Amino acid sequence: MADSPGGVYTKKVMNRFSNPKFAGEIKNADGVGQVGNMKCGDVMRVYIKVEKNRIKDIKFKTFGCVAAIASSDAMCEMAKGKTIAEAMKITDKQIAEFVGGLPCIKHHCSVLGSEALRKAIENYKKKAK
């Protein structure tokens, strides 16, 4: 697991929290996934638009802490442009590494991103049948 130095938030985390690029909602999304973590009260919803088996657009709405919002934004950047199969392979560890690490007690926040993305893809696959 990627831990931040000294258990504090990295500059990357704080920048993503302060200036998220992917915050919002996609009307008529092809897939929507929502997860919540009762341990900390965070709730994340992910919206995806898919074109030719690739994630063309992705947005998130997260009610949560700094780490949850930063992880949501990072996950979106990582998934955009990827095929469905590639996006399904994004892990919480990769998300934490992408933001330069998270404090140990906040690692569960990066798990929300990968889980919400998987749920959005599962929702898309159900609708596409």
Residue-wise pLDDT for 33-77, tens only, equals: 999 866 667 889 999 999 999 999 999 999 888 888 999 999 999
Specify the pLDDT at position 58.
98
Is position 40 annotated as part of the catalytic site?
A: yes
pLDDT for 9 beyond 60: yes
pLDDT at 50: 98
Q: Give the count of alpha carbons within 13 A of 62, CB side only.
A: 32
> Residue 54 sits in a domain of what CATH number?
3.90.1010.10
Instruction: Quote the Cα angle for 91-5-40, to 5°.
Output: 55
pLDDT for residue 6 is more than 70:
no
Closest CA to 51 of 21, 83, 27, 74: 83
The total of other beta-carbon atoms located within 10 Å of residue 22's CB is 19
pLDDT at residue number 1: 46
CA dihedral 99, 103, 108, 111 (to 10 degrees): 20
Residue 121 has pLDDT above 80, yes or no: yes
Binned at pLDDT 50, 70 and 90, residue 123 comes out as: very high
Catalytic choice (40, 65, 76, 104): 40
Full domain range(s) for residue 49: 5-128
pLDDT at 4 over 70: no
Cβ neighbours for 15, distance < 8 A, ≥ 6 positions apart: none
Find the mean pLDDT for residues 106-112.
77
| Residue 38, burial from CB neighbour count under 10 angstroms (0-12, 13-18, 19+) | exposed
87 closest CA partner among 63, 58, 67: 58
Cα–Cα distance, 65 to 50 (Å, whole number): 28
Our count of domains for the chain comes to 1
Q: What does pLDDT average to over the chain?
A: 89
Catalytic residue among 65, 76, 104, 109: 109
